[in-house]
Amino acid sequence: MTNYYQPEIETMPREELEKLQSERLVAQVKHVYENVKMYHDRMVEAGITPEDIHGIEDLHKLPFVTKDDLRDQYPYGMCAVPLTDCVRIQSTSGTTGRRVVAFYTQEDLDIWDECCARAIVGVGGTKDDVVHVSYGYGLFTGGPGLNGGSHRLGSLTLPMSSGNTERQIQFMTDLGSTILCCTPSYAHFLGEEIKARGLKDQLKLKAGIFGAEPWTEEMRHNIEELLGIKAYDIYGLTEIAGPGVSCECQAQAGMHIQEDHFIPEIIDPDTGEVLPDGQVGELVFSSITKKAFPLLRYRTRDLCYLTHEKCSCGRTTVRMHKPMGRSDDMIIVKGVNVFPSQIETVLLKLGYLANYMIYVDRIGTKDTIEVHVELTPEMAQDEYPDIPKREKRIVSELKSMLGIQVDVKVVPPQTIQRSEGKAIRVMDKRNLYR
């Protein structure tokens, strides 16, 4: 078996890293050309053969792959090895349309474990930690990914899966969990529950590895306060591997991409042009070591930017900034682009918790947008919570953030449904009329 346990790659001089990427890319292009009909046909259409790809400088010559392509190829069309060489299937969490299924050989799983192990090490984890995994297990990659990383590192792993908050808190306190892995919305919910029960002092938690959904700096601050930990962002997607494609280090200044396995690009979503560091665009990944489900130039629809500046932690790998949302998460209301994360930023700044729901509708030809936000338990205990004044203030702050009129309804604590996995923040009723 190839030894992919090479954490020293994270601090390799760039020249060496790019040489390694080039070698792996050349081999991967040959692999997909020979084994995936769709790639073969697309390359023929584009008038290129594997011989035209000499290294990463030729990456831009390859055609993009989209989620629709993967849906068209469902279930086995993109599998590049005999099925008998695959040992695992995982699937995206989409609720509409055909799900994407991804295949893994044992070697693919080893690489993924390694990436998640590096993520845990990056946040200060060691084999002496107790890693509490509250991401869902099953087809979703969250649980299996962090579980594999924790094993790889030799840490004590608690495969909690999501849900059953009572038991989560009991095990966390009784078994002394030190690193919590779950979605940021669930971490926030756990933090609220722990606070309500006065159990914060009994926790041994030091860090959290939170991802699978967009979350803001304000939300990070709230979770850190509620749980008394450092909260780190982790990113990934089923099509490319799962969690661990990138993760923050202790500098909390962007997520280091595991570039020896995944080459990132940022493109203009409309023209496909590759954009320079610092410019926001659509994130595109090429997986250069995966054998069963190797995607080249896969358009993630996530919007963010990259930086190659050296990080204070010493890693030389490129960092991606927190995705502000997916291009398809963005809602266009009254002609204006709105991301739920912008609304969250305003609410958290005003002292609310991240318990909110955005309702979008259309009356006649006019769009409407209403945000429901919960009072915190402290606000609700206030003798005069003065709801109309609060609503007016939020309306005014949202107006200056988004430039449009948003209706706001402040509701009592615990009236908005909590999520144990990825949070659902938007109900766009206009979709029902399509």
Q: Kind and range of the H or E element at 320?
A: strand 319-320
Answer for which of 112, 186, 235, 262 binds ligand DLL (CB under 6 A) is: 235
Q: Which stretch binds ligand DLL (CB under 6 A): 80-88, 122-130, 209-217, 393-401?
A: 209-217
User: Which residue of this chain has its Cβ atom nearest to ligand DLL in the complex?
Assistant: 211
Q: Which stretch binds ligand DLL (CB under 6 A): 164-172, 199-207, 212-220, 411-419?
A: 212-220
Rg of the chain (C-alpha set)? 22
186 binds ligand DLL (CB under 6 A): no
326 binds ligand DLL (CB under 6 A): yes
Q: Shortest gap between Cβ of 373 and ligand DLL (angstroms)?
A: 21
Strand-strand pairing, 156-159 and 179-182: unpaired
Type of residue numbered 412: P
Neighbour tally for 220: CB within 10 Å = 23
Size of the site for ligand DLL (CB under 6 A): 22
Output 248 or 397, the one with its CB closest to ligand DLL.
Answer: 248
Per CB under 6 A, which of residues 119..148 are in contact with ligand DLL? 135, 141-142
What sections of 206-293 are H helices per DSSP? 217-227
Rounded Cα distance between 70 and 53, Å, is 23
Per CB under 6 A, which of residues 238..257 are in contact with ligand DLL? 238, 242-243
Rounded Cα distance between 74 and 143, Å, is 24
SS3 category, 321: coil
Q: Which stretch binds ligand DLL (CB under 6 A): 75-83, 160-168, 194-202, 322-330?
A: 322-330
- CA proximity to 61, closest of 27, 36, 25: 25
Output 35 or 91, the one with its CB closest to ligand DLL.
Answer: 91
- CA proximity to 239, closest of 89, 57, 424, 128: 89
323 binds ligand DLL (CB under 6 A): yes
Site mask, ligand DLL, residues 72-101, x = CB under 6 A?
A: --------------------xx--------
Neighbour tally for 237: CB within 10 Å = 22
Answer for which of 121, 237, 306, 318 binds ligand DLL (CB under 6 A) is: 237
| Burial 383-411, CB ≥16 within 10 A → b, else e | eeeeeeebbeebeebbeeebeeebebebe
Interacting residue ranges for ligand DLL, rule: CB under 6 A: 92-93, 135, 141-142, 211-214, 233-238, 242-243, 300, 302, 322-323, 326
